[in-house]
């Protein structure tokens, strides 16, 4: 039985529209707070205050801080996937495969530079970082582009190796622990892709 087909004493349409508006407002406010203060400083209280909504509304919408973080991660990953699958070139279709590969890593590193702590939090647990759907989507994307570029090596293994170099925790450690600027990390990705993609002979 589909609840949407039941006649309702109280029409829910207006409430749903409110909820949708609140959700969009809360997520965009949360992203602005994240970019300003980092994930550790993002609290349910702070979000409610910044969005001008009650704390109860925030908890009803996300359940918990973890629920909020998961929605933010999902939104960031979905948006990135949409951009590399169907957005404008060179990240999206229309550019040469190698240029799309270069853009993929550069854009990923740019996202990690801002949202890295949040995305890293999604990777905790021994195998979580490998089995996450966004990583699988990224690796599939890399392997498709390598094939389109006529790559003459083992596509499965090298797409695995390439996506490993874009791991959130790795890039953040490279940048903060080893003091390598994000610009060098991104230039290194481009150089790696161009070297790997050249024909063997």
Residues that bind a copy of itself (CB under 8 A): 120, 124, 126-127, 129-131, 153-154, 156-158, 160-161, 164-165, 167, 169-170, 173-174, 177-178, 180, 184-185, 187-188, 191-192, 194-196, 198, 200
- Which one, 48 or 109, has the nearer CB to a copy of itself? 109
Q: Closer to a copy of itself by CB, 61 or 120: give it.
A: 120
Kindly tell me which of 100 and 120 has the beta carbon lying closer to a copy of itself: 120
Residue (of 143, 132, 127, 126) closest to 76 by Cα position? 132
**C-alpha distances out from residue 195 to 58, 78, 158, Å:** 48, 29, 12
Q: Between 2 and 124, whose beta carbon lies closer to a copy of itself?
A: 124
User: Measured between alpha carbons, how far is 153 from 43 in angstroms, rounded to an integer?
Assistant: 47
Distance from chain centroid for Cα 65: 18
Distance separating alpha carbons of residues 40 and 105, to the nearest angstrom: 26
144 HSE (CA, 13 A, CB side): 12
What's the burial of 77, exposed, middle or buried (CB within 10 Å: 0-12/13-18/19+)? buried
- In whole angstroms, the minimum distance from the beta carbon of 82 to a copy of itself comes to 25
Q: CB of 154: closest distance to a copy of itself in angstroms?
A: 5
Q: Report the alpha-carbon distance of residue 149 to residue 161 in Å, rounded.
A: 17
Nearer to a copy of itself, 1 or 131 (CB): 131
Q: Is 20 or 161 the residue whose CB approaches a copy of itself more closely?
A: 161
Compute the least distance from the CB of residue 123 to a copy of itself, in Å: 9
Distance from C-alpha of 184 to C-alpha of 165, rounded to nearest angstrom: 13
Name the β-bridge partners of 88.
Answer: none
Q: Least CB distance from residue 172 to a copy of itself, whole Å? A: 8
């Amino acid at each position: 039985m589909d609840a949407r087909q039941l006649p309702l004493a109280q029409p829910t349409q207006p409430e749903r529209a409110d909820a949708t508006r609140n959700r969009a407002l809360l997520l965009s406010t949360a992203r602005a707070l994240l970019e300003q203060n980092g994930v550790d400083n993002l609290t349910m209280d702070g979000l409610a205050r910044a969005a001008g909504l009650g704390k109860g509304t925030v908890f009803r919408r996300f359940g918990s801080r973890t629920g909020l973080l998961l929605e933010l991660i999902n939104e960031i990953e979905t948006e990135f996937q949409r951009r590399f699958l169907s957005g404008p070139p060179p990240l999206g279709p229309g550019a040469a495969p190698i240029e799309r590969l270069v853009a993929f890593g550069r854009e990923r590193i740019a996202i990690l530079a801002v949202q890295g702590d949040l995305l890293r939090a999604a990777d905790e647990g021994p195998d979580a970082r490998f089995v996450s759907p966004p990583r699988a989507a990224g690796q599939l994307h890399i392997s498709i582009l390598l094939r389109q570029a006529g790559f003459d090596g083992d596509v499965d293994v090298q797409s695995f190796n390439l996506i490993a170099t874009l791991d959130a925790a790795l890039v953040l450690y490279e940048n903060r622990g080893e003091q390598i600027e994000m610009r060098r990390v991104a230039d290194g990705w481009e150089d790696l892709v161009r070297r790997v993609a050249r024909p063997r002979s």
